[in-house]
Amino acid sequence: MQKTFVRIENLTKRYGEVEALRDISLDIKQGELFGIIGPDGAGKTTLMRILVTLILPDSGEAAINGREVVKDWKYLRKHIGYMPGTFSLYEDLTIEENLHFFATIFGTTKEENYDLIKEIYEHIEPFKDRKAGQLSGGMKQKLALSCALIHRPDFLVLDEPTTGIDAVSRVELWEMLGKLKDEGLTILVSTPYMDEAELCDRVAFLQDGVITEVNAPDTIKKEFDQPLYAMNSKDNYELLMGLRKMDMVRSAFLFGENIHVVTNHSYGEEELQKAVLEEAGIRANIRPIHAGIEDCFMSRMMD
């Protein structure tokens, strides 16, 4: 049984009339790669900012490795790495100067913990004299991650590290997170990409300041109990509009080359095909499918 590393109990935070977090409780295990997913404004950033000791909760408690975020903030800041959602390094310093700066602030040197950041830093080292403001999005993220790790934290918190980042850099970043997890770090990460949620050990859905589910991605997918079909036709937009008007359809959303359709009962493929032809006038290819994490998330958002 893994030990609890982050303990969150009845955490609440308001901004004026807005309840950003409502009585949240959550445990994150030591060495876990833990994902938070939720719509914009759900409270993800607020939760992270409380955990990294940047803002205070109104009530409730949180502790990291037994240290309280409110009382022991000074200790914790030396042991937490945080990568905020907006690029927060010095744009007028070079790659190397930024890294040196953050190492110095934490009372260490680049050399002392180089083994931890080596694989990440190697990608950007050829450009070490380039100013941070002139880097592409993927390179900025690698530098920000290097700076967040330079003091060898036990707990790494990443707020949407892949937003605005291309698919190749996203794959690379997640490979790096996997390696950091192997090094023993506990990692909390938020993302709008559902394929990334699948790479986490466990995922929490956060919506309107409330955690509606915490589970392993596979468990979440298995729990999806509504009839789900992938459909396509010559003109998917027309098919989408047609499906939305059908009584038997609960929801229909674009999904890459298909439309994912949840129906109110289970139907045979031919039965459904006939209904779509009669009611929407469209000949569609239809097959039943298993839900992905994105299907689960979207269905939860509509509840």
Total of residues contacting another protein (CB under 8 A): 34
CA dist 200 and 178 (Å) reads 9
Q: Give the up-direction half-sphere exposure of residue 287: CA atoms within 13 A in the CB hemisphere.
A: 3
Q: Which of 81, 78, 49 is nearest to 62 (CA)?
A: 49
Spatial separation of the C-alpha atoms in residues 255 and 100, rounded to whole Å? 44
Dmax (CA) of the chain = 71
- Which whole-number Å values give the CA distances from 96 to 125, 141, 270, 272, 276, in the listed order? 8, 14, 62, 60, 60
Residue 31 interacts with another protein (CB under 8 A): yes or no: no
Please tell me the distance from the alpha carbon of residue 108 to that of residue 120, in angstroms, as a whole number.
18
The residue from 3, 41, 109, 277 that contacts another protein (CB under 8 A) is: 41
Binding residues for another protein restricted to 211-240, rule: CB under 8 A: 236-237, 240
Q: Binding to another protein (CB under 8 A): which residues in 242-281?
A: 253-257
Which region among 6-14, 69-77, 137-145, 266-274 touches another protein (by CB under 8 A)?
A: 137-145
127 binds another protein (CB under 8 A): no
* Residue 302 binding another protein, by CB under 8 A: yes
Q: Verify binding: residue 166, another protein, rule CB under 8 A.
A: yes
The answer to whether 178 contacts another protein (rule: CB under 8 A) is no
287 binds another protein per the rule CB under 8 A: no
Residues that bind another protein (CB under 8 A): 38-41, 136-139, 160, 163-171, 192-194, 236-237, 240, 253-257, 294, 297-298, 301-302
